[in-house]
């Protein structure tokens, strides 16, 4: 690393800039209603996914060919056997919705983590080392960004063949740039802080500086990004299964249900309405959580509020 101009650490200023104590931060986050709403939505999804076999009245692929395209139970002709009616193959819409939550929850939890695992180290390398490494990583990001994400994901899925692991892999390969871009600029800001210079002067190694001083400063942004990415990856999976390249046909997903529902929308609109509502609510929950976290965790927003 090139020697920078000598910065005299200013302890008073630095202590004001450093992350505040954990308890007060946690309290602030938990007092935010948007965080609660978001968490409740996501927990509901996870619980539904985990207990799907007990919650669903039927198996996801059980066909009742005598009762195809039934309306929901409250409409005329509906039965309580199929609370939300059946689709064109006589499959229970409610059960398929519930089983779909399994794929959605797995993708929504694993894909953001994977994208972060790739994106965060890249961001730190890029922002902390700078120079040629930074140039190289940013050009890679440029290449990624010059592709519509949908097209890239579709091409990858065709090359990879359908399946849960491959869907998650494709989303990670497409979306790691979001973490890299946003966090890189954050690392660059943090690197110029006085406490980093102070840590380097006391003889801390680069690794120590990154782990002890840079990484904690990235946490607020990282948590926000993770919850945003959760919504994004759920949508991405829905798009892939809508086009028909995501999962094997035997595993239901909301995107697949939307594609099926669109075909028989005039005879059984609930086959389309139900998965659309589930998607919208889930994605909104992720957005609310992200918004709430950003408002309560971002130190710059807080400073602006406090003046």
Partner 1 sequence: MLLGLFKSLWRIGLLVFIALVVFVVLRLLPADPVGMMLPPGATEADRAELNRTLGLDRPMLVQFTIWLGKALHGDLGTSIASGLPVTERILHALPTTLQLVALGLLGGAILGVGAGLLAFRFRKTPIESGVQVANSLAISIPEFLWAILLILGVGIGLQWLPFLGPIDGAYSVQRITGFLLLDTLLVGDWAAFASVCAHLALPVLALSLGVAPPLMRIAHASLVDTYAEDYVAAARLRGLGENRILMRHALKNAALPTVAMLGLQAGSLIGGTLLIETIFGFPGIGSLMVQSLGVHDLFMIQGLALTYAVTVQIMNTLADAALYALNPRLRLQ
**Cα gap 176→168, rounded to integer Å:** 12
Residue with smaller CB distance to partner 1, 55 or 243:
243
- Complete DSSP assignment for 105-153: HHHHHHHHHHHHHHHHHHHHIIIII-HHHHHHHHHHHHHHHTS-HHHHH
Q: What does each C-alpha distance from 46 to 6, 207, 307 come to in angstroms?
A: 51, 36, 40
| Least distance in angstroms from the C-beta of 259 to partner 1 | 9
How is residue 10 written in tokens? 């200013």
| Least distance in angstroms from the C-beta of 232 to partner 1 | 9
Residue with smaller CB distance to partner 1, 167 or 235:
235
Residue with smaller CB distance to partner 1, 124 or 167:
167
Residue with smaller CB distance to partner 1, 66 or 159:
159
Residue with smaller CB distance to partner 1, 122 or 278:
278
| Least distance in angstroms from the C-beta of 143 to partner 1 | 6
Question: At a CB cut-off of 8 Å and minimum separation 6, what does 128 contact?
Answer: 187, 191, 206, 210, 214
Residue with smaller CB distance to partner 1, 198 or 284:
284
| Least distance in angstroms from the C-beta of 271 to partner 1 | 11
How many helices (H) and strands (E) the chain has is answered by 14, 0
| Least distance in angstroms from the C-beta of 34 to partner 1 | 9
Question: At a CB cut-off of 8 Å and minimum separation 6, what does 237 contact?
Answer: 103, 104, 107, 111, 167, 171, 246, 253, 255
The number of beta carbons lying within 10 Å of the beta carbon of residue 216 is 12
Q: Write down the residue that tokens 């005879």 correspond to.
A: 267
Categorise residue 147: left if φ over 0, alpha if ψ from -120 to 50, beta otherwise: beta
Residue with smaller CB distance to partner 1, 7 or 36:
36
- Residues of this chain that interact with partner 1 (CB under 8 A) are 142-143, 145-151, 154-156, 158-161, 231, 235, 238-239, 242-245, 258, 262, 265-266, 269, 272-273, 276, 279-280, 283-284, 286-287, 291
């Amino acid at each position: 690393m090139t020697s920078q101009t000598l910065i005299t650490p200013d302890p008073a200023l630095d202590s004001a800039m450093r992350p505040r104590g954990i308890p007060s931060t946690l309290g602030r986050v938990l007092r935010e209603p948007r965080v609660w709403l978001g968490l409740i939505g996501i927990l509901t999804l996870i619980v539904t996914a985990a207990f799907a076999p007990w919650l669903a009245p039927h198996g996801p692929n059980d066909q009742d060919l005598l009762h195809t395209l039934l309306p929901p139970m409250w409409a005329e002709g509906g039965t309580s056997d199929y609370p939300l009616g059946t689709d064109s193959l006589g499959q229970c819409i409610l059960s398929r919705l519930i089983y779909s939550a399994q794929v959605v929850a797995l993708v929504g939890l694993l894909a953001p983590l994977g994208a972060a695992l790739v994106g965060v180290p890249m961001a730190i390398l890029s922002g902390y080392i700078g120079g040629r490494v930074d140039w190289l990583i940013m050009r890679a990001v440029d290449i990624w960004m010059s592709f519509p994400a949908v097209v890239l994901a579709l091409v990858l899925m065709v090359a990879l063949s359908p399946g849960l692991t491959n869907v998650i892999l494709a989303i990670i390969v497409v979306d790691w740039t979001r973490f890299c871009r946003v966090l890189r600029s954050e690392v660059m800001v943090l690197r110029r802080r006085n406490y980093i210079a102070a840590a380097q002067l006391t003889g801390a190694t680069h690794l120590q500086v990154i782990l002890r001083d840079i990484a904690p400063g990235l946490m607020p942004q990282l948590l926000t990004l993770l919850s945003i990415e959760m919504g994004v990856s759920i949508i991405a999976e829905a798009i892939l299964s809508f086009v028909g390249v995501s999962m094997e046909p035997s595993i239901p997903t909301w995107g697949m249900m939307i594609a099926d529902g669109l075909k028989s929308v005039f005879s059984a609109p609930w086959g389309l309405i139900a998965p659309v509502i589930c998607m919208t609510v889930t994605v909104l929950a992720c957005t609310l959580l992200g918004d709430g976290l950003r408002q309560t965790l971002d130190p710059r927003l807080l400073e602006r509020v406090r003046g």
